[in-house]
A and B are shown apart, each in its own frame.
Chain A
Amino acid sequence: MPNAVEIKSRIEAAIPGAQAEVEDWTGGGDHFRAKVVAPGFAGLSRIEQHRLVYSVFGEEIGGPIHALSLTTHSE
């Protein structure tokens, strides 16, 4: 089962310079909320920023990670 710490470290490992705050929204280990700041988001639309984060988890989104609510910023 994924946890907030693991999700945070996977985002930060996959996206250069990223800093992530992740919380388990419901405490159930499947609904997470993340705030991600990464310089690489600059110039990308929100859709593209969120896709980048979702792509870290691939098929896990909608699977073991039922929901990953995102807020993204470039700085």
Chain B
Amino acid sequence: MSAQPDNQIREAITTAIRDNEVILFMKGTPEAPACGFSARTVGALQSLGARFAAVDILPDPRIRQELSALSQWPTIPQLFVGGELVGGCDIVTEMFDTGELAELLGAEQPAESGPAPVVANGGGLQIESQR
């Protein structure tokens, strides 16, 4: 990772967002969130039984820099569905409360119970999707 140029990081992020229907960029992992906002966002997704890919942005500060430059969104976490930024913790929580999140995810994914969330560590930006 240390030798990876910034543009490769951006490319990896772009690819990850494109290839994963639901992907969360967060601090820490779904099992061990490193920030309350990330924890709450994971909680909303998990309580809907949503399957999502997760990227820990902490291992390399450039992941966050490139992500925010790409998404025009300054904070972490960031949830993308279908390649589009849905929002951070506030918006995801609000959409969870109103049922919009369920609707959004339900429309994108059949409501079958998937496996527990799989975590991809940010090192090397390896993404593991949960399909």
- Interface, chain B (partner A; CB < 8 A): 37, 64, 68, 72-75, 85-91, 94-95
Given A69-B90, A70-B90, the answer on whether A47 and B74 have CB atoms closer than 8 Å is no
The 6 tightest CB contacts between A and B, nearest first, are: A61-B74, A46-B91, A70-B90, A54-B74, A62-B74, A69-B90
Please state if B87 and A47 are interface contacts (CB–CB under 8 Å): yes
**Chain A count of residues within 8 A CB distance of the other chain:** 12
A62 — nearest CB in chain B belongs to which residue?
B74
Chain A residue numbers with a CB within 8 Å of B89 are: 69
> What are 24 sample pairs from A and B whose C-beta atoms fall under 8 A apart?
A46-B87, A46-B91, A46-B95, A47-B73, A47-B86, A50-B90, A50-B91, A51-B72, A51-B73, A54-B73, A54-B74, A61-B74, A61-B75, A62-B64, A62-B68, A62-B75, A67-B75, A68-B75, A69-B37, A69-B89, A69-B90, A70-B90, A71-B90, A71-B94
Chain A residue numbers with a CB within 8 Å of B75 are: 54, 61-62, 67-68
**Supplied contacts A46-B94, A62-B68, A67-B75, 15 more A-B pairs, CB within 8 Å:** A46-B87, A46-B95, A47-B73, A47-B86, A50-B87, A50-B88, A50-B90, A50-B91, A51-B72, A51-B73, A61-B74, A62-B64, A62-B74, A70-B90, A71-B94
